[in-house]
Amino acid sequence: MSVLLQCHRLVHSMGSKPLFNDLDLTINARDRVGLVGHNGSGKSTLLSILNGQLNPDGGDISRSGDLLLETVEQFIDSRLNERTLFEALHEKLPAEEQDFNEFKVTMMLQQMGFNETEFRFKVADLSGGQQNRLMFARAVISNPTLILFDEPTNHLDLQTLLFFEDLLTSLDTAYLLVSHDRHFLDAVTERTVFLRDHRVYSFSLPYSEASIRLNEHDDAAQAMRKVEEKKIRELRASAKRLAIWGKVYDNEKLARKAKNMEKRVERLEGDKTFVTSGSGLKLTLDVKNVQANRMLQIDDRQILSPGLDPKPLFYIDNLFIRPGDRVALLGHNGVGKTTLIKLIMERFETDSAGDFIKFNPQCDIGYYDQELELLNPNRSMTQTLEDNCNTGDYKAALIKAGFPYLDLDKKVAVLSGGEKARLMFLLIKLNHPNFLVLGEPTNHIDIKGKEDLESQILESNATILITSHDRRFVDIIADRFILIDQHELRELNDPQTFYDLDRTTVAIQETPAVDTIQAPLEDEDILTRIVELETMLAEDQARKSKFQKPKLQLKWAREWRELNDQL
Ligand SMILES: Nc1ncnc2c1ncn2[C@@H]1O[C@H](COP(=O)(O)OP(=O)(O)OP(=O)(O)O)[C@@H](O)[C@H]1O
Ligand SMILES: [Mg+2]
């Protein structure tokens, strides 16, 4: 097993916060490593040190001659925005291949599920999921030996996520990926490195098994520490008694014995088993209950896309949410989930009787927006709470949530992704809502935070409406599932139907046959084809369900969406 990269006794601090102390880490060829850690523990910082963007305060890093390293950042580099999809990938070919290896670019884009029409699209115009595919292709095309990924699944819809799982597991390249998604980690990694207490704990196991082992290790350390502390207490008491006797009886032998015992206590204190201090961050909610029949009702309505030229997105056939309902809103990127949530919030803020969205008069929404736009990067944590909450001792609340006193005046801009998300949850808590509307609440939050959030939601009997691509979170939290698909909002009995839909769609996208890559169509041809597809879809949907062809329906619907986009 050849070693690609090795860190020895790394030491590093950010601001007043020590992050690593004597951290050792080795990555071998073909390793598939998950890097897991609490928010703010320094994972993103460690990636910057590994790829050479940041110099550590101390320690050594050795890189093998075979190391060819690529990093996939969480967001696409804005310098690529004006390039076409093809150009953005072509520029990543090694210099000596740029002139004659264009077919490699074409092949890789096709493998990533793009068609030739899309090759000419500007990067800025690609959807979030498509940009993620491009970033992945840019990392892979130069045949690196190691790829570093920083939270690659945040913002991905389930369909793109499953696509990545399949691609990652087919790679020969070693990778280290930071993620808080337990399901994803289990699917694509074989080793788990926990970054904690300024050092790493490494297990040759995927996340779930590794975390059981880490818990066992912690339990054993706690038990050992208890025994040691008992022993220390006993020895200390004996030393004290001997010292008193030595004095009372003027006995030098007893006094010497007491001194030796005290020295032993000191040695034992120094050698005590290390017990983890944990993250220190706490995520709590304060959700009120409402006694009523309905919390929210949306009448039959065609929902339109926002903007100057609104287009029909989907149709709602009367939706209502009762107090205590935990509703997951499912659907692919771009179907209109965020539009619906934003519409609800907009109507809530301008609540008027007789509107097509009706709120219970007691309804008080705590809104977590996916982009965390409410947080102003130039304000400090304390100022953010002052700006957005009515009353409270904000400093005490921040300290209770686990933020160190020295950090309270830290600007939002320098917070890690998870620290920002936690600040937003604290802001919601301080406003005591009775209905939580949460857009992708688990992006950025570490695994412990997600578990806190899960138990807080379940214990509080909260009414919630969430969008989330974290399957495990959806499965645990939600008791109602509504899906936006094929321009309709409908209720499902369980989310599996939606996950199955994803697998089928991915399978269709993964093998683009050469003859399905079409030359650009004229507007008139597009319209003809749209009508043709609509007829085929309507005819097939009109059949009895056992005679329908769901896979073909998906394929037609996808083509229909693409053609509509082209128009
Ligand atoms: N310029 C800075 N000044 C002060 N502190 C900083 C600065 N940049 C980062 N930090 C702090 O360093 C710590 C580590 O940040 P980092 O982004 O590496 O965390 P992380 O483990 O990636 O967290 P997350 O899981 O939330 O992404 C955080 O507490 C962050 O607030
Ligand atoms: Mg990070």
45-54, 88-97, 253-262, 492-501: range with lowest mean pLDDT: 492-501
Evaluate if residue 515 carries a pLDDT over 50. no
How far is residue 126's CA from residue 218's CA, in Å, rounded to a whole number?
46
Q: Name the phi and psi angles at 310, rounded to 5.
A: -65, 140
For residue 441, the tally of other CB atoms under 10 A from its CB is: 26
Say if residues 433 and 363 touch (Cβ distance below 8 Å): no
Q: Which has the higher per-residue pLDDT, 227 or 563?
A: 227
Per-residue model confidence as pLDDT tens digits over 119-176: 999 988 887 778 888 999 999 998 899 999 999 887 777 777 888 888 898 889 999 9
**How far from the centroid of its chain's Cα atoms is residue 567's Cα?**
34
Q: Report pLDDT for 509.
A: 41
- For residue 409, the number of C-alpha atoms closer than 13 Å in the C-beta half-sphere is 2
Candidate CATH numbers 3.40.50.620, 1.10.3720.10, 3.40.190.10, 3.40.50.300; the one for domain 3-212: 3.40.50.300
Q: How confident is residue 521, by pLDDT bands cut at 50, 70 and 90?
A: low
Evaluate if residue 43 carries a pLDDT over 90. yes
Evaluate if residue 548 carries a pLDDT over 90. no
Residue 372 in tokens: 């965390």
How close is the Cα of 136 to the center of ligand 2, in Å?
A: 18
Q: How confident is residue 296, by pLDDT bands cut at 50, 70 and 90?
A: very high
Evaluate if residue 413 carries a pLDDT over 70. yes
Say if residues 485 and 501 touch (Cβ distance below 8 Å): yes
Q: Report pLDDT for 160.
A: 78
Most confident of 33-37, 353-357, 403-407, 545-549: 33-37
How far is residue 106's CA from residue 123's CA, in Å, rounded to a whole number?
16
Q: How confident is residue 547, by pLDDT bands cut at 50, 70 and 90?
A: low
How far is residue 545's CA from residue 135's CA, in Å, rounded to a whole number?
40
Give Cα separations from 491 to 319, 321, 494 (angstroms): 9, 12, 9
Give Cα separations from 132 to 139, 152, 265, 402 (angstroms): 11, 8, 57, 33
How far is residue 35's CA from residue 178's CA, in Å, rounded to a whole number?
5
Residue 328 in tokens: 């997951």
What one-character-per-residue DSSP string does 192-230 give? EEEEETTEEEEESS-HHHHHHHHHHHHHHHHHHHHHHHH
How close is the Cα of 442 to the center of ligand 1, in Å?
A: 18
Q: Ligand 1 within 6 A of 449 CB?
A: no
Which ligand has its closest atom nearest to the C-alpha of 442? Answer: 1
Q: How confident is residue 98, by pLDDT bands cut at 50, 70 and 90?
A: confident
Whole-model pTM?
0.78
Evaluate if residue 337 carries a pLDDT over 60. yes
How close is the Cα of 383 to the center of ligand 1, in Å?
A: 19
Evaluate if residue 508 carries a pLDDT over 70. no
**Average pLDDT of every residue of the chain:** 87
**Among 12, 13, 14, 196, residue to substitute to test ligand 1 (most atoms within 8 Å of Cβ):** 14
Ligand 1 atom showing the smallest separation from residue 418 Cα: 26
Closest residue CA from atom 16 of ligand 1: 42
Evaluate if residue 420 carries a pLDDT over 70. yes
Evaluate if residue 116 carries a pLDDT over 60. yes
How close is the Cα of 436 to the center of ligand 2, in Å?
A: 26
Q: Which has the higher per-residue pLDDT, 219 or 309?
A: 219
Evaluate if residue 36 carries a pLDDT over 90. yes
Most confident of 34-48, 122-136, 275-289, 512-526: 34-48
The mean pLDDT of 38-67, rounded to a whole number, is 95
Most confident of 477-481, 523-527, 548-552: 477-481
In angstroms, how far is the first alpha carbon of the chain from the final one?
Answer: 53
How far is residue 551's CA from residue 151's CA, in Å, rounded to a whole number?
31
Residue 485 in tokens: 């698909």
Evaluate if residue 528 carries a pLDDT over 80. no
Return the CATH class of domain 296-497: alpha beta
How close is the Cα of 193 to the center of ligand 1, in Å?
A: 18
Q: Ligand 1 within 6 A of 17 CB?
A: yes
Above pLDDT 70, what percent of the chain?
A: 94
Which ligand has its closest atom nearest to the C-alpha of 421? Answer: 1
**Among 17, 46, 176, 180, residue to substitute to test ligand 1 (most atoms within 8 Å of Cβ):** 17
Evaluate if residue 181 carries a pLDDT over 50. yes
Q: Ligand 1 within 6 A of 419 CB?
A: yes
How far is residue 509's CA from residue 469's CA, in Å, rounded to a whole number?
19
- For residue 188, the number of C-alpha atoms closer than 13 Å in the C-beta half-sphere is 30
Evaluate if residue 56 carries a pLDDT over 60. yes
Q: Name the phi and psi angles at 308, rounded to 5.
A: -75, -25
Evaluate if residue 483 carries a pLDDT over 90. yes
Q: Ligand 1 within 6 A of 44 CB?
A: yes
How far is residue 512's CA from residue 136's CA, in Å, rounded to a whole number?
18
The mean pLDDT of 386-400, rounded to a whole number, is 91
For residue 483, the tally of other CB atoms under 10 A from its CB is: 22
Q: Ligand 1 within 6 A of 502 CB?
A: no
The mean pLDDT of 55-68, rounded to a whole number, is 95
Say if residues 537 and 485 touch (Cβ distance below 8 Å): no
